[in-house]
Amino acid sequence: MKKHNLSLTYVPKINAVLSGKCRQTTRVGHKFTVGDLISFHGWENKPYRSKWSFRTPYMELIQVIDGMLYPWGFVISPNTEHRWEHWEMDSFALWDGIDPPTGIELGRVLTSLNKIPDEGVEMQIIRW
């Protein structure tokens, strides 16, 4: 079990996480496992250059979904392709605290916050 402190910079998600309405986030990389503890924090001003504005208690991860993130969507096992414009992506967006909760907006947020090469990058959907 590891402890992780994750920053939140996407404003609509902050209140949803703090209120308990949002219990999922999608992160680039492959470092989380079920049972890990996560805590979220915000920034007073410029990210990584200012003090934390809030910090949540640690919460246990109950599900971790591994996949690959692409500019057009993501693939999660067992090799299921999900494109931003497909209606089912609206559910992922809703669970992830995206406003408005659409696959198109989820794609816009993820691709604006992360550099995603055409060949894709590892990602995880984590739930607590």
Task: Please tell me the pTM assigned to this model.
Answer: 0.91
Give the tens place of pLDDT for each residue, 41-96: 999 988 888 899 999 999 999 999 999 999 999 999 788 999 999 999 999 999 99
* CATH class of the structural domain 3-127: mainly beta
CA distances to 14, 54, 67, 91 from 11, in Å: 5, 13, 25, 19
What residues contact residue 78 under an 8 Å CB cut-off, 6+ apart?
none
pLDDT of residue 78: 80
- Residue-wise pLDDT for 1-25, tens only, equals 999 999 999 999 999 999 999 999 9
Please provide the size of the chain in residues.
Answer: 128
Q: For the chain, which residues make up each domain, given as ranges?
A: 3-127
- Provide the 8-state DSSP code for 8: -
Tokens describing residue 61: 């991860």
Q: How far apart are CA 52 and CA 46, in angstroms?
A: 10
